[in-house]
Amino acid sequence: MTPFGAAVRDLRRKKGVSQKQMAAAIGVSAAYLSALEHGKRGAPSFDFLQRVAGYFNVIWDEAEELFQIAHVSAPKVVLDTSGLAPEYTAFANRLSGQIRDLSVDTIRALEDVLEKATFPANDRG
């Protein structure tokens, strides 16, 4: 499941509607909505996000948060390290190979590192 899929499922459950009901209301198939919730589909379109926000009648701040969650919810990620130092490519490949074995605590620690990191243009390799 992607972060966006979890968010949509939570919103749907809070409203007390099924996937089928929500799908019909926003003009998509229940199969698409299920695939999106389970991370079997890529990040949704902006149009879809607007329909979801409208359906749940979310306020602007909540809609913005939903859009940001969708932005980081692509289940298949491609990292382009061409032109970077070899260490970047090695790290990206190592992360790709080991991400399924990392604990949630480790992922959170890595997120904290990224959040605190600065990226000066001259330090990129």
User: Distance (Å, rounded) from C-alpha 25 to C-alpha 11?
Assistant: 14
User: What share of the chain has pLDDT > 90, as a percent?
Assistant: 26
Q: What pLDDT score was predicted for residue 116?
A: 86
Mean pLDDT of the 85-89 span:
89
What is the phi/psi pair of residue 117, to 5°?
A: -70, 150
Domains and CATH numbers, the chain: 3-71 (1.10.260.40), 86-123 (no CATH)
- pTM over the 0.85 mark: no
Print burial letters for 75-110: b (CB count within 10 Å at least 16), e (below 16).
eeeeeeeeeeeeeeeeebeeeeeeeeeeeeeeeeee
Is the model's pLDDT at 125 over the cut of 50? no
User: Distance (Å, rounded) from C-alpha 53 to C-alpha 43?
Assistant: 15
- Reading the block at residue 40, the tokens are 């079997």
- 119 pLDDT tier (thresholds 50, 70, 90): low
DSSP type of residue 122: G
Span 55-74, pLDDT tens digits: 988 887 788 888 888 877 76
Residues 6+ apart with CB under 8 A from 23: 29, 30, 32, 33
Q: Which of 25-34, 72-81, 106-115 has the lowest mean pLDDT?
A: 72-81
Q: How many CB atoms lie within 10 A of CB 24?
A: 14
